[in-house]
Structure 1
């Protein structure tokens, strides 16, 4: 099976040996997106701003592959502090609408660049 590499300048460039996303058999798999602003390369200090930007980055990648957030079937969220769970739920509702995609949310010890949240998605495009 072959797959297509998806890249957009509207999301941060990969900071390691991976692609922003891959697409194959109508499925798109994004890499985890931190809340890094692709224009500045900066990570906001505020959790809600990081979460919003992480979802913006996922959205930009899904759109670069020809889809919309309505095509997202599964989201995985990584948090360094589960106290931010209510805030990330609020942000997610700004990007996904009912019926919501399936989702997993995990607490992790740390994220790259000192991020507080990372979001990845699987979409059908």
Structure 2
């Protein structure tokens, strides 16, 4: 089976040589999402708004793949300041319910466009 490119205008367009997501068989690989407003392609302001926007962008790509957030099995979160870890958990609970996906939270020196957060992951669907 060939790779299927997943693309939606409800999430920011790629700012490099990548696709928003790729589906191969029943696995969907999500590219990293930073907190860009998909309409303006500008970062939203503030860490709380950035966390919300990242999850909204991820959800938009998941829906474009005809999948569910419940299909997300692994989530990687990259933060330029790990002191925001508790806030990520709090906001993540607004989007996810148990059982939560496996997850890593990784402190990094910098992210594209000066973002404070980025997230990627993969899904396994029942198809």
Using the size of structure 1 for normalisation, the TM-score is 0.96
Task: Give the aligned partner of residue 117 of structure 2.
Answer: 117
Matches for 1:12-91 after TM superposition, within 5 Å? 12-91=12-91
In structure 1, C-alpha distance between the alignment counterparts of 2:55 and 2:14, rounded to whole Å: 16
Residues 27 and 122, structure 1, Cα contact 8 Å, conserved in 2 = yes
Aligned with 2:32: secondary structure?
coil
Aligned with 1:9: secondary structure?
coil
Gaps of 5+ in 1: none
Q: How many residues align?
A: 125
Residues 58 and 121, structure 1, Cα contact 8 Å, conserved in 2 = no
After superposing on structure 2, the runs of 4+ consecutive aligned residues of structure 1 that deviate more than 4 Å are none
In structure 1, C-alpha distance between the alignment counterparts of 2:58 and 2:105, rounded to whole Å: 16
In structure 1, C-alpha distance between the alignment counterparts of 2:56 and 2:32, rounded to whole Å: 12
Residues 80 and 111, structure 1, Cα contact 8 Å, conserved in 2 = yes
1:51-100 Cα distance to aligned partner (Å, 9 max, x none): 11001100000100001111111100000000110111111111111110
State the Cα distance separating 1:44 from its structure 2 match: 1.6
Matches for 1:93-112 after TM superposition, within 5 Å? 93-112=93-112
